[in-house]
Amino acid sequence: MKKTVGNEGTVYAMVNPCISGKSGNLLIKIGKTTDLERRRRELYNTSVPMQFEPIQAKVVSDMDQTERYIHAALNPHRFNPNREYFDCPHSVIDGIFGLIAGEDLMKTIYKDNIQDDIEYTCDDNDARRRRPTIKFSDFCENGSIFTYRDDPLITCKVSDAFKNRVMYDGEETSLSATVHKLKGVDPSKSGTRYRGTEFWCYNDKRLDEIYEELYPKPIEVTDF
């Protein structure tokens, strides 16, 4: 992340795929940091089975003031008065972050992750829930080799396991982009999109199969 100036930093909303609230929505952690990836690694400790995933993140001029604003707006949804976790539909979070001025990291650093891997389902109240993005760093490391499902001789190499980036044909890109290239499809023109996890394998297992093993159904917690 770029060097911060004054109180500049990132305010974020993150979820853990294994932690849900009483409503059935994944609990949302709201916080601030000067380095979002470092903060994700800090939260990924022995007390949680999976990594936290950002669902909103903006670089703002005053992260302290902005965080207080978000906490105040979400106070009715606070899960525990002593913790920065909130139990509400993700559409509420999207609406609040939409009002905040700043660089939207979900459209830059995490753009590929959003387009490629997020799925949505609806509960009985039609509240939007978000499944986590698969993270290469949860099952492999930089330099790991993926093989193409339809032709094992075609491979790509993981270049950044934390950001789900691979090297293919001399270019750093996303898995979905490689599939579109291999199939000769331009999704912006045809409207056809392929999910890269369905076409690439690691250790002879498709990535979407690894995804199902890594991310179990969220558990409901009564306090956090």
Give residue-wise pLDDT tens across range 99-120.
999 999 887 776 555 444 433 3
Give the separation between CA 145 and CA 135, rounded to whole angstroms: 15
Which H or E element spans position 216?
A: none
Residue 152: half-sphere exposure toward Cβ, Cα within 13 Å: 5
pLDDT score at 1: 44
Domain boundary pick from 115, 133, 151: 133
Helix axis angle, 90-98 to 63-74, nearest 10°: 140
Tell whether 1 is covered by a domain.
no
Three-class secondary structure of residue 40 per DSSP: helix
Instruction: Domain of residue 201: give its range.
Output: 136-214
Same domain membership, residue 151 and residue 125:
no
Q: Are residues 13 and 117 in the same domain?
A: yes
pLDDT greater at residue 223 or residue 29: 29
Which residues in 108-137 are b (16+ Cβ under 10 Å) and which e? ebbebbeebbeeeeeeeeebebbbbbbbbb
Average pLDDT over residues 161-177: 90
Q: Are residues 110 and 142 in the same domain?
A: no
Is the pLDDT at 97 greater than 80? The verdict is yes
